[in-house]
Every structure is written in C-alpha cells, then in structure tokens.
Amino acid sequence: MRIDVVTIFPAFFDILDVSLLGKARGAGLLDVRIHDLRSHTHDRHRTVDDSPYGGGAGMVMKPEPWGDVLDEIAGAADTGIRPTIIFPSPAGEVFTQATARELSTRNHLVFGCGRYEGIDERVFAYAATLGEVRLVSLGDYVLNGGEVASMAMIEAIGRLVPGVVGNPESLVEESHEDGLLEYPSYTKPSSWRGYEVPDVLLSGHHGRVAQWRRDQQIERTRLRRPDLLSDQI
Ligand code: ADE
C-alpha cells in the first residue's frame, strides 16, 4: 500500500520508522512518503495560510500549495490508480474499525493534514477531481491539526494490511472486530500480589474458556460502551 502524507510538520511522522509500521516499511509492505507543504510555496516566507474571507478568528490554509502538492502526488502518481484522499477533520465522518478495514483494502491513500482554522474549501472540490475525498474525524474533540489524527489512522489501517501483523489471528480477537470490547487477558504467574487469574482459564476446558470470554466481552461492553450493543440490535 502506498501512503502519502502532506503536512507542514514532517517531523511528526518520524515515528513511522519505529515499531511494527517501521518494519512494514522496511519490508516494502507500506510505502510511506511525507511531503512538506511549504516546499510547494513560492514566496520568501513560505506562506501557507491567510486571513479568512468574510472575517473571523484564525487563519485559513491557502489553496495554491495544496493544489501543487496534490498534483504532484496524484497527477504524476506512478500507481496509475485514483487515490483515496483523506482530510482529517473534526467536521468529518467518525473513524471506526470498519473505516480502517475499508481503507486497508485501498492501494493508495493520501492524508492531507490541515492546521489553523482549516483548509480553503475549494481544495476539497479540486481533490475530488483526482481521487475519492473523505473528511474523517477521530472523535468529538478538537486537535491542533491533522497530524496526530493521521498517525492514528495510518497505524489502525496499516496494521490491517496483510503481512504487517505477523500473526493474523491476533487481529481477529481484538476489541471492535466483532462489535464488542475485548475480553480480559492474563499471563503467568497465576497469583500475583494477591490477585488471582480466574479459575476457568486454568481449567484447560476450551468450551468453558470460550463461553467465559464471550460473557466477559458482553458484560464489559454493557458497562463501558452500551452504545455498541444498541448498534447491534
Ligand atoms: N483535526 C482536528 N481535530 C480533529 C479530529 N478530532 N479528528 C481528526 N482531525 C482533526
């Protein structure tokens, strides 16, 4: 999968070199390219923002650098396919595990990280001529820009790309994959500081273990995320 990221803070993405995603990049499973939006400005101050038409607080990202960088990524793309262009935004559709699954099947994703009060609206219309545009929110809170949101999405999507996570079974039994929260896990020692591992997990009885885990999933979901249970009915 190819992933291009447009940002005015390329250093945010240095951590893509470490951990599982770093390995996946090294192995050629993820081809991640970071683009500095300021490299697509043409003035001495490398200006990427300006005051909003109509007035109001804050600054808006100018369309010209965005047009140039999107042309470079999508227009001249060596992938030959229309990318999915994701703009992280608190005004977007909410990102879920289902979104991550869907996007993990794409060949080419572009993340456009906005800052300030947002990006000139015409950029989204222009981007739609180059690929599928998605405005995506991490949740109902406001971050300073799209960088942290893009990192979170790249990790959630990247780990679903076949081969990135060594044991694919570990993807199946985790929170949100079946619409429920994950069951609790324990490892040795069976007794630790007065806390015991539930007897059923030591019983060696696979059927009872499976039933207990399912019950735990439902109970945890009922307590912590009842909204997920009502989604299922
Ligand atoms: N940019 C600012 N806030 C955001 C959020 N909640 N999700 C995605 N991108 C954002």
pLDDT in tens, 98-108: 999 999 999 99
Q: Which long-range contacts (CB under 8 A, 24 or more apart) does 165-169 make?
A: 165/20
CA 30 remoteness from chain centre: 14
Separation of CA 189 and ligand 1 centre (Å)? 41
CA distances from 46 to 11, 36, 64, 145 (A): 17, 11, 12, 19
Alpha-carbon dihedral angle through residues 116, 117, 120, 126, given to the nearest 10 degrees: 80
For tokens 């992938």, what's the residue? 79
Residue 173's pLDDT is what? 78
Residue 232's pLDDT is what? 64
- Is the shortest distance between the CB of 88 and ligand 1 below 6 Å? yes
Q: Is 196 helix (H, G, I), strand (E, B) or coil?
A: strand
Separation of CA 125 and ligand 1 centre (Å)? 20
Question: How far apart are alpha carbons 62 and 52 in whole angstroms?
Answer: 10
Residue 171's pLDDT is what? 86
Residue 122's pLDDT is what? 98
Residue 186 annotated as lining a ligand binding site? no
Residue 68's pLDDT is what? 98
Residue 178's pLDDT is what? 86
Q: Which residues contact 115 (CB under 8 A, 6 or more apart)?
A: 8, 48, 49, 61, 144, 145, 146
- Is the shortest distance between the CB of 150 and ligand 1 below 6 Å? no
Residue 230's pLDDT is what? 84
| Lookup: tokens for 140 | 């109902």
* Tens-digit pLDDT string for the chain (233 aa): 999 999 999 999 999 988 888 899 889 999 999 999 999 999 999 999 999 999 999 999 999 999 999 999 997 655 578 999 999 999 999 999 999 999 999 999 999 999 888 999 999 999 999 999 999 999 999 999 999 999 999 999 999 999 999 888 888 878 888 899 999 999 999 999 999 999 999 999 999 999 999 999 999 999 999 999 987 65
Residue 140's pLDDT is what? 96
| Lookup: tokens for 71 | 């042309």
In this prediction the pTM is 0.94
Residue 166's pLDDT is what? 84
For a substitution probing ligand 1, which of 138, 150, 154 has the most ligand atoms within 8 Å of its CB? 138
Name beta bridge partners: 108. 2
Separation of CA 159 and ligand 1 centre (Å)? 21
Q: Which atom of ligand 1 is nearest to the CA of 114?
A: 1
Residue 199 annotated as lining a ligand binding site? no
Residue 32 annotated as lining a ligand binding site? no
Residue 214's pLDDT is what? 97
Separation of CA 117 and ligand 1 centre (Å)? 11
Q: Is 181 exposed, middle or buried (0-12, 13-18, 19+ CB in 10 A)?
A: buried
Specify the residue with its C-alpha closest to ligand 1, atom 4: 90
Q: Which residues contact 132 (CB under 8 A, 6 or more apart)?
A: 82, 83, 84, 85
| Lookup: tokens for 186 | 């324990």
Nearest to 157, CA basis, from 97, 223, 94, 84:
97
For tokens 């935004």, what's the residue? 89
CB distance 73 to 83 below 8 Å: yes
